Amino acid sequence: MLIAIPLLIIPVVLYNILVLTEGATQADALLNDPLFSVTMTSGAQWGVSWGDLILFVGLILLFFELIKSTSSQRVAIVNHALSMVLFIAVLIEFLLLRGFATSTFFLIVVMILLDVLAGFIVTIIASRKDFDLGN
């Protein structure tokens, strides 16, 4: 049943921990200030922040969520429902809480929305194919 839990809850939890432990203003600084930098072959410095790392983790998990959405198991329906609940929760956080009105969190919200849409679209297409084959 653990497979039904949306993986995108991980970046949401990381972001929540960061904002709720540091406060809204300090969390904004932590999300944007470079954690470390990498010197590129061009000589430019690429600064990587906590926000970048959270988005990176989110994108990797979105890939796995999209793969999970192609499953036709019954647990996939539970996963779609939990993804919708997660989307509603993060949308409320984004709209109503001060520390969550950032570009980083907005992109997390968009990733979760894409997961919800992909899950429902894949399920509808798969059920339509099953219905067509039944005739």
What would the pLDDT profile of 38-49 be if each residue is shown by its tens digit? 999 999 999 999
Q: How many domains are there within the chain? A: 1
Contact 88, 14 (CB under 8 A): no
Distance between CA atoms of residues 91 and 113, nearest Å: 9
Q: What is the CA 121 to chain-centroid distance, rounded?
A: 18
Decide if 76 is inside a domain. Answer: yes
pTM exceeding 0.85: yes
Decide if 94 is inside a domain. Answer: yes
Decide if 33 is inside a domain. Answer: yes
Residues 6+ apart with CB under 8 A from 83: 6, 8, 65, 112, 115, 116, 119
Q: How confident is the model at residue 130 (pLDDT cuts 50, 70, 90)?
A: low
Decide if 62 is inside a domain. Answer: yes
Distance between CA atoms of residues 79 and 55, nearest Å: 21
Decide if 34 is inside a domain. Answer: yes
Mean pLDDT score, 98-122: 92
Decide if 1 is inside a domain. Answer: no
Q: Which domain holds residue 96?
A: 7-134
pLDDT at 131 over 70: no
pLDDT at 114 over 70: yes
Residue with tokens 């960061």: 18
Decide if 26 is inside a domain. Answer: yes
Q: How confident is the model at residue 27 (pLDDT cuts 50, 70, 90)?
A: confident
Distance between CA atoms of residues 63 and 66, nearest Å: 5
Decide if 2 is inside a domain. Answer: no
Contact 43, 97 (CB under 8 A): no
